[in-house]
Amino acid sequence: MKTLDYFVALAYVVVNAFSLLQVVGSFRWPTITRFVFFLIFLIAAIVNTRTVLNTPWVYESYADYAIPIYSRFILGPFGTIITPMVLCIAVGQVCIALSMFMKGPWFQVGCLGGMAFCLAIAPLGLGAAFPSTVLMAYAFYRLYKHEDRQTVADVLDRNQVLLPLD
């Protein structure tokens, strides 16, 4: 059990450090941050889809870490609709991921969706590595407000090198 505790603590620290990096990236390297959000949300959608189709009951374990009202929902009504609910969440995650490659209102809607998603799962507490989701919501906000809406595709079309030290 000690090994699991160390693993959970390490994962918690890594996720929160990564979220801080996303916040810094939203100021300094918004294009890279957009690409990283694309990867995070695409991978999350794939993992959620596979998990809910194979072992849907694992989502009930989030009740152990959530605030009381979330715990009651997870163990109550959510238990009967786990699969369709998580599949809808996965569709939303794919939409957020794809919006990171878009401009204008589609990108802004994706950022708003990312903020809403991150803030909605924050009450899951340790199960969502709180406060990492609040930090990621702030990074989405910074991208939403960023004046230069350069997409990853724009950078690749110009053959620009993405270096974190520019």
Examine residue 130 and state whether it is found in any structural domain, yes or no: yes
Quote the pLDDT of residue 22: 96
**33, 21 Cβ separation under 8 angstroms:** no
Q: Long-range CB contacts (< 8 A, 24+ apart) of 157-161?
A: none
Quote the pLDDT of residue 162: 53
Examine residue 44 and state whether it is found in any structural domain, yes or no: yes
Quote the pLDDT of residue 166: 40
Looking at residue 57, the DSSP 8-state letter turns out to be G
Examine residue 165 and state whether it is found in any structural domain, yes or no: no
The total number of structural domains in the chain stands at 1
Domain boundaries, position 20:
2-156
Quote the pLDDT of residue 40: 96
Q: How many CB atoms lie within 10 A of CB 54?
A: 8
Average pLDDT of each block of 10 consecutive residues along the chain (166 residues)? 76 93 92 94 97 95 93 93 96 97 92 97 91 96 80 64 47
Examine residue 56 and state whether it is found in any structural domain, yes or no: yes
Q: How far apart are CA 40 and CA 35, in angstroms?
A: 9
